[in-house]
Amino acid sequence: MAESKRDEVGGGRTRSGPIRQATGGVVRQSGRHPSVNVLTQFTRVLIVDDDDPLRRSLARFFRNASLEVSEAKSVAEALGLLAGEPDLVITDVRLPDGGGRRVVDVASQRRPAPVIVAMSGLASAREAFALAQSGARVYLTKPFAERELIDGIADLCQESRRSLPVIAADGDLDTSLALFAHRYGVPEREMALVRLATAGVPRNRCPEMLGISENTCKTLTRRLLQRCGARSLAQIPRVVLIGDDLTPHAPY
């Protein structure tokens, strides 16, 4: 039987494709996703995670993409390494000496501000909202595929050229979800999918969490994307959290 083509990072395993599992639990790279070309616009990346195998596998991947890599296991280490002026920061949400939001807060205040990616093993919509307020515009739930990381960075870089609005510091997640539902005329069944997407839940886990079939989930996803003009569920959090309108047309 053919192996799955999904490459998962941070879940203790990877399967086929560009990243595979090596001995000792360390992930190694064996190829390059086409979207990896987006990394040519970066010079230095800071990876913050106390999970040694994940941090090292990410570091190896970015070094293979010719980036200078700094690694930190804690908030304190990360804050010190920000002086090296990384233009890409990838941080875990929960660290031994505090929350990754502190890293995001400090990094986003630097000028020029780096692109910031937050990752977590526990999906939380409110946590994603708070991180977006601080400046993290890509939020990934572990385990995630290499392509999700690269595509998330690529989408963000493309959208940043259109000067994305900044989320108000006093913003509220419930208000943002209500505005999204009103703007695009989204019914409750599709809003359940929106909430999962905003929490960073991968598309393949949505049917089980919603208690619906795969086909029903595909139908709801298709209708939702048509309404707001997004290309994938991965774009939904930015539409909700940032308020960026992806469609020039009236609501579907």
Domain ranges of the chain: 8-160, 173-242
Mean pLDDT over 94-108 rounds to 88
> How would you classify the pairing of strands 115-120 and 138-141?
parallel
**Res 178: pLDDT:** 86
By the 8 A CB rule, do 108 and 83 touch?
Answer: no
Domains 8-160 and 173-242 belong to one CATH topology: no
**Res 208: pLDDT:** 80
Q: What is the mean pLDDT of the chain?
A: 75
pLDDT of 235 > 70? The answer is yes
**Res 133: pLDDT:** 72
What's the CA gap between 242 and 155, in Å, rounded?
A: 14
Q: In 10 A of CB 29, how many CB atoms?
A: 21
> DSSP readout, 44-92?
EEEEE-S-HHHHHHHHHHHHHTT-EEEEESSHHHHHHHGGG--SEEEEE
Topology given in CATH for the domain delimited by 173-242? Arc Repressor Mutant, subunit A (1.10.10)
For the segment 118-165, what is each residue's pLDDT rounded down to a tens digit?
888 765 667 777 777 777 877 777 777 777 788 878 877 765 544 444
Mean pLDDT over 197-219 rounds to 82
pTM over 0.75, yes/no = no
What's the CA gap between 167 and 181, in Å, rounded?
A: 18
Amino acid making up residue 63: R
Closest C-alpha among 49, 93, 83, 56 to residue 199 = 93
pLDDT of 34 > 90? The answer is no
**Res 79: pLDDT:** 94
pLDDT band of residue 250 (cuts 50, 70, 90) is very low
CATH 3.40.50.2300 fits 8-160, yes or no: yes
Mean pLDDT over 40-63 rounds to 91
Pick the more confident residue, 8 or 53.
53
Long-range contacts, stretch 20-24, CB < 8 angstroms, 24+ apart: 24/53
